[in-house]
């Protein structure tokens, strides 16, 4: 078996295509779609992600507002804000940035977001729709990964896919999307014995474990497509630190195609969030139009 250098599955061009579509579809709506970004506390990564999301929203012609709540926010304060955003017809989408400070329970907050405005796709109504193969809003990172694969012409139908990580945000919903796209799916996690034996089965290996360089070259089937979701900050000599993925850099010598970190899945997550905001606004608009027809209930 000759070894080469994996094809790079770059995020920014695929994200640009998704953002173009979001911009085009937003422009067809009578009102500018609006994204409400809810952040509690000052976790530096969350501050930076939310800022990035708001900036990109403006670039595609969406309006957004960052609701920055103090660390002292109570569960009741948070739920009251979500209720207010649910009731506001000008708000198309609501995102509650995770993780929340330790004194707040994320589950009630995610349940409180109206499913039609749940652009993170984390409400049980949307996760249920995903697992049943029904329409609904899909979680941004998993949906962004599917768009990235499609953009680069990576087949999913009929392939052996292994997902490492089972979080509600990434691994679980990704397994559902891969299944809906007719992959044969294995979901591995922290209690999986001999992880390498499982990952070596994969033609498509997607890693979302949050462990820097967990996946070493020997754990990859030669020629496989590897998607690295991990964002790990590692210290550098200049003290600034840098981002690295869950996949060891040596994987490029074994894999057939590989996503970089940064510049792979991250930009897709943000682009998909804005696409989801446009989809939510479109459906809310359709709903309004149909509800204007007296006596007719078509949806």
Ligand X SMILES: NC(=O)C1=CN([C@@H]2O[C@H](COP(=O)(O)OP(=O)(O)OC[C@H]3O[C@@H](n4cnc5c(N)ncnc54)[C@H](OP(=O)(O)O)[C@@H]3O)[C@@H](O)[C@H]2O)C=CC1
Residues near ligand X (CB under 6 A)? 141, 164-167, 169-171, 188-192, 195, 208-211, 214, 229-232, 265-266, 269
Is 167 labelled a binding residue? yes
77 with 96: CB under 8 angstroms? Answer: no
**Using CA atoms, how far apart are residues 184 and 99, in angstroms rounded to an integer?**
31
- For residue 271, the partner it binds in ligand GUE, ligand X, none, with Cβ less than 5 to 8 A by kind, is none
**Using CA atoms, how far apart are residues 118 and 244, in angstroms rounded to an integer?**
30
223 with 255: CB under 8 angstroms? Answer: yes
Catalytic residues: 53, 97, 120
- For residue 142, the partner it binds in ligand X, ligand GUE, none, with Cβ less than 5 to 8 A by kind, is none
E strand or H helix at 161? strand 160-164
Nearer to ligand X, 106 or 285 (CB): 106
Please choose, from the candidates 272, 282, 274, 278, the residue with its C-alpha nearest in 3D space to the C-alpha of residue 177. 272
- For residue 163, the partner it binds in ligand GUE, ligand X, none, with Cβ less than 5 to 8 A by kind, is none
CA distances from 278 to 20, 171, 232 (A): 12, 24, 30
Is 291 labelled a binding residue? no
Nearer to ligand GUE, 159 or 206 (CB): 206
Structure-token pair, residue 145? 């990964």
Nearest approach, Cβ of 298 to ligand X (angstroms)? 36
Determine if residue 128 is left, alpha or beta; phi over 0 gives left, psi from -120 to 50 gives alpha, anything else beta: alpha
Nearest approach, Cβ of 204 to ligand GUE (angstroms)? 20
Contacts of 71 (CB under 8 A, 6+ apart): 40, 41, 42, 101
- For residue 211, the partner it binds in ligand GUE, ligand X, none, with Cβ less than 5 to 8 A by kind, is ligand X
Instruction: Extract long-range pairs of 131-135: CB within 8 Å, 24+ residues apart.
Output: 131/176, 133/180
Footprint of ligand GUE (CB under 6 A)? 48-49, 52, 95-98, 120, 140-141, 231, 243, 261-263, 266-267, 269-270
Is 242 labelled a binding residue? no
E strand or H helix at 244? strand 242-244
Nearer to ligand GUE, 48 or 75 (CB): 48
Is 63 labelled a binding residue? no
Nearest approach, Cβ of 259 to ligand GUE (angstroms)? 9
Nearest approach, Cβ of 28 to ligand GUE (angstroms)? 26
Nearer to ligand GUE, 33 or 173 (CB): 173
Question: In degrees rounded to 5, what are phi and psi of residue 65?
Answer: -140, 135
Nearest approach, Cβ of 2 to ligand X (angstroms)? 30
Which amino acids are annotated as binding site, given as ranges?
165-167, 231
Which amino acids are annotated as binding site for NADP(+), given as ranges?
165-167, 231
């Amino acid at each position: 078996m000759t070894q080469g250098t994996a094809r790079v599955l770059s995020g920014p061009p695929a994200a640009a295509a998704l953002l173009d579509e979001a911009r085009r579809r937003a422009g067809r709506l009578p009102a500018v779609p609006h994204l409400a970004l809810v952040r509690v506390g000052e976790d530096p990564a969350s501050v930076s992600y939310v800022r990035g999301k708001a900036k990109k929203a403006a670039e595609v012609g969406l309006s957004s507002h960052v609701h920055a709540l103090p660390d002292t926010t109570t569960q009741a304060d948070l739920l009251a804000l979500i209720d207010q955003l649910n009731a506001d017809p000008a708000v198309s989408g609501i995102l509650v940035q995770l993780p929340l400070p330790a004194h707040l329970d994320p589950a009630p907050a995610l349940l409180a977001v109206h499913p039609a405005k749940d652009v993170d796709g984390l409400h049980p109504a949307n996760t249920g729709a995903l697992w049943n193969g029904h329409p609904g809003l899909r979680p941004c990172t998993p949906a962004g990964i599917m768009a990235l694969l499609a953009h680069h012409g990576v087949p999913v139908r009929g392939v052996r896919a292994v997902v490492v990580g089972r979080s509600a945000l990434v691994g679980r919903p990704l397994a559902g999307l891969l299944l809906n796209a007719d992959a044969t799916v294995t979901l591995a996690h922290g209690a999986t014995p001999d992880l390498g034996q499982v990952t070596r089965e994969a033609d498509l290996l997607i890693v979302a474990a949050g462990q820097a360089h967990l996946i070493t070259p020997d754990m990859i089937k030669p020629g496989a497509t590897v998607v690295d979701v991990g964002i790990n900050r590692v210290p550098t000599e200049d003290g600034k630190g840098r981002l690295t993925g869950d996949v060891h850099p040596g994987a490029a010598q074994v894999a057939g195609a590989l996503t970089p970190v940064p510049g792979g899945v991250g930009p897709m997550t943000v682009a998909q969030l804005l696409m989801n905001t446009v989809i939510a606004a479109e459906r809310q608009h359709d709903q309004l139009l149909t509800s204007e027809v007296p006596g007719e209930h078509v949806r």
